[in-house]
Structure 1
Amino acid sequence: MKRSTWAVAGGGAAVALGLVVWAFAPRPLEVEVATVTQAAFKATIDEDGKTRVRERYVVAAPLAGQLLRMRLREGDRVEAGAVVAQIVPVLSPMLDDRTQRDLQARLGIALAQVQRARARADGARIGLKQALSEAARTEQLATQGFVSLTKLEVTRLAAEAAQKELDAALQEQQVANHEVEQAGNALRVVRGPQQNGRAFDLRAPVAGRVLRVAQVSEGAVALGAPLLELGDTSQQEIVAELLTTDALRIQPGAQVLVERWGGTGALDGTVRRVEPAGFTKVSALGVEEQRVKVLIDITSPAARWASLGDGYRVSVRVVTLALDKAVQLPASAVFPLPDSEGPGDADFGVFRLDNGHARLLRVKVGARNGSMAWVPQGVDPGATVIVYPPAGLKDGARVKARSV
């Protein structure tokens, strides 16, 4: 065989060997990447909630009789003192004495409620005075740089909450006075001469809207039977049932974002109260959970959420941490390391893309929200990290960013 033939055969064999090596050589792994940024960061606790009228009032029958057909329906607006129902007294001579005793007891209860409402209003005035004084001192210290803006905002919100508490106490006092008037009128009807079919007027204790009508048709009602519920839908709160472990991280005055409420954008709110008593609730998976109710005030202008009614479902995000400048990356890029000591002070890892290779970095995770993780140390802004790293990815492995 000629030398040229050997050369051609050797070259072909080398090419074939090269093709085999290239075919079985490991390929760079395609991965998704993201950039580490430095921006504002908020850690939140997300949960569903529902709206609730802050103060609802039940109009009950002050005496037994025949209820005339109700003209009001759910959603109708009424003014304070307007007639909402009419009852024609039907007093049997055998029941007059017992009815008088019941009405006298009802009048005594109403008078006691007036005293309690007056005491609550006095306490609310003192609380408002104290909150305004504290807010003034904090604002003066803030101008001198001795307290943070967060502390100043908390004191302002406390003053607003104290004002709302006073408004509610004054309204409760008004309702209590109305109950005394109604009970006194009913007692005078029983003690006085027969009304000859004249109807007794029940009046609204406050201005608001009808939330529920217990009985629409004409019929007999007993003493104390509920007839309808009234409430001011412009004065609403949100009730969210949070896990007790999450509620421990929430303080009154915390910022809240109200989402998925049916309108555009998110509504602003603040936590007014975390109730001290928890309760057991069974989840959809059949797991018993300890939860606690958190009451949230809507601080956005009422005109934005005027269409919200009582018992509407919303989603709330309670802010537990807010940073102006925080190094953050997608939460899907962070994973716990096998040698971490535990969830409390565990070390986490992230793969950084470095010249076509994956470099494992050990980082600390300060907090997370739904999509991002705050990393106070371990990675610099501008670095490219691998999102959703495959389980078999190792330090130093060849990788290639997946084209979008």
Structure 2
Amino acid sequence: MNTKRLLIAAAVTASVVAVLAWAFAPRPQAVELATVQRGLFERTIDEDGKTRVRDRYVVAAPLAGRLERITLREGDRVEAQQVVARLAPTLAPMLDARTLAELRERVGAAEAQVRAAGARAQLAQVRQRQAEDEWQRNQALAQQGFISESRLTSARLTREAALREQAAAAQELETARHLLAQARAAVRATQPGDPAPGRLFEVRSPIAAQVLRVPQTSEGVVALGTPLMELGDTADLEIVAELLTSDAVQVQPGMPARIERWGGPQVLEARVKRVEPGAFTKVSALGVEEQRVEVLLELASSPAERAALGDGYRVGVRLVAQSVPDALLVPVSAVFPHPEQPGRMAAFTLRDGRALLRTVEVGGRNGVHAWVRQGLDEAEQVIVYPPPNVHDGVRVQPRKRNPR
């Protein structure tokens, strides 16, 4: 009988010990897993930008006089040499000599502008020929497989930019000639002995463009140099973005960019034209002083794709600072500083139900993915957001997702 009781007590004790051992045994840690895969890695700099007309022309009063009412309004289209305003010269007798001297000086300044614009037009023509030769040479090399597609795209964008610069320089030369003609006409209209001193002086548009702003539409007396109208071609837009100086040092002319969040259905292509050499201080919405730099971008998409864009529109700018076409990608939350090797990165992989600490070399990171140069293989599973109690060799299991 005693033997039977001993056996029962031993069995109960063993059961209790087994239950307690099971209850207090370490459970596998529930973790989230992701698969290592290959794909395009891009590290971008995102910022808001604003469109603006590349060349804005201010039509000013070439002489003092009474301005007739301007009938043009914002958005109206004007042609080159079209009359946009009319002035009746009304010079005060005591100011005639001074005003005539100012007008003659304006003629000299306009002649200098014509010479400078002519030199810039010749320089733009030389650059356009260089870009055309480079484009044709890169086309031949690309057909033979000696250069990458990105370099060919860069050469194409450089060629398009040179063509636009040549057109802009030619337009600038034409505008300078127009301003010279206006200055000479103003001198003739105010010379003593003018057979018709009360005649109307016609102010003409220097370019074919749209009216952007009319500061004064009503009739009235205006002084010499008073702005009468702002003109610009809304089909020739550029984008200016204000980048932090820490981001601007990574930006180089010719860098590709994408224009998003502008309201259209597609993403527009652009390239960096210039990074301004000087920074300025700007206070953020949180009251923090920031050093920012203006970066100018030119649109590479056709005017038909961006026809709805106008002057002063807000857009989203995404500058591609780094692009790797066939990179090994993991979620950015799967890599972390190595706990035992300062300055290096690590990740946990899943092997036989346990977490394995792996040393990895990270080539770059963005907001979603990390590009791993070494340390992982394609199709491996890594632990995302590893909990603090996960360490090398601990048992883990995939976390069950709640069905929706």
Aligned to 1:258: 259
Aligned to 1:23: 23
Aligned to 1:65: 65
Decide which moves more: 220-229 or 284-293: 284-293
Aligned to 2:175: 175
Deviation per residue, 1:54-90 (Å, 9 max, x gap): 1111111111122233322222222222222232322
Helix, strand or coil at the partner of 1:366: strand
Q: Distance in 2 between matches of 1:61 and 1:335?
A: 65
Helix, strand or coil at the partner of 1:229: strand
Q: Distance in 1 between matches of 2:263 and 2:319?
A: 19
Report the TM-score when normalising by structure 2: 0.91
The equivalences for 1:312-327 within 5 A come to 312-327=313-328
Aligned to 2:360: 363
Q: In structure 2, do the counterparts of structure 1 residues 78 and 16 end up closer, same or farther at CA, with 3 Å as the change threshold?
A: farther
Aligned to 2:337: 336
Decide which moves more: 35-44 or 80-89: 80-89
Q: Distance in 2 between matches of 1:10 and 1:305?
A: 85
Helix, strand or coil at the partner of 2:367: coil
Deviation per residue, 1:114-151 (Å, 9 max, x gap): 11111100111111112222333333344444444433
Contact 2:276–2:295 (8 Å) recurs in 1: yes
Q: In structure 2, do the counterparts of structure 1 residues 89 and 9 end up closer, same or farther at CA, with 3 Å as the change threshold?
A: farther
Q: In structure 2, do the counterparts of structure 1 residues 6 and 122 end up closer, same or farther at CA, with 3 Å as the change threshold?
A: same
Aligned to 2:278: 277
Decide which moves more: 214-223 or 176-185: 214-223
Deviation per residue, 1:21-73 (Å, 9 max, x gap): 33333332222221111112222222221111111111111111222333222
The equivalences for 1:5-154 within 5 A come to 10-154=10-154
Give unpaired runs (5+ residues) of structure 1.
none
1:310 matches 2:287: no
Deviation per residue, 1:141-186 (Å, 9 max, x gap): 4444444443333333222221111111001011111111222222
Decide which moves more: 283-292 or 164-173: 283-292
1:374 matches 2:375: no
Aligned to 2:223: 222
Helix, strand or coil at the partner of 2:357: strand
Q: Displacement of 1:3 after TM fit?
A: 6.3
Deviation per residue, 1:323-362 (Å, 9 max, x gap): 2211011111111224555xxxx31111112233221111
Give unpaired runs (5+ residues) of structure 2.
none
Helix, strand or coil at the partner of 2:217: coil
Helix, strand or coil at the partner of 1:95: helix
Helix, strand or coil at the partner of 2:241: strand
Residue identity in the other structure for 1:334: V
Decide which moves more: 126-135 or 162-171: 126-135
Helix, strand or coil at the partner of 2:350: strand
Identity %: 53
Q: Distance in 1 between matches of 2:22 and 2:266?
A: 55
Aligned to 2:208: 207
Alignment equivalent of 2:351, drawn from 347, 354, 375: 354
Residue identity in the other structure for 1:371: V
Decide which moves more: 100-109 or 168-177: 100-109
Q: In structure 2, do the counterparts of structure 1 residues 20 and 213 end up closer, same or farther at CA, with 3 Å as the change threshold?
A: farther
Decide which moves more: 55-64 or 208-217: 208-217
Helix, strand or coil at the partner of 2:22: helix
Aligned to 1:156: 156
Aligned to 1:394: 391
Deviation per residue, 1:355-393 (Å, 9 max, x gap): 332211110110122211110111011111111222332
Q: In structure 2, do the counterparts of structure 1 residues 359 and 116 end up closer, same or farther at CA, with 3 Å as the change threshold?
A: same
1:236 matches 2:233: no
Q: Displacement of 1:277 after TM fit?
A: 3.1
Q: Distance in 2 between matches of 1:234 and 1:132?
A: 23
Residue identity in the other structure for 1:318: L
Contact 2:190–2:197 (8 Å) recurs in 1: no
Decide which moves more: 25-34 or 309-318: 25-34
Contact 2:157–2:300 (8 Å) recurs in 1: no
Q: In structure 2, do the counterparts of structure 1 residues 339 and 86 end up closer, same or farther at CA, with 3 Å as the change threshold?
A: farther
Q: Distance in 2 between matches of 1:270 and 1:73?
A: 33
Q: Distance in 1 between matches of 2:341 and 2:306?
A: 47
Residue identity in the other structure for 2:93: P
Deviation per residue, 1:192-234 (Å, 9 max, x gap): 24544x4332222112222222223333211111122111111
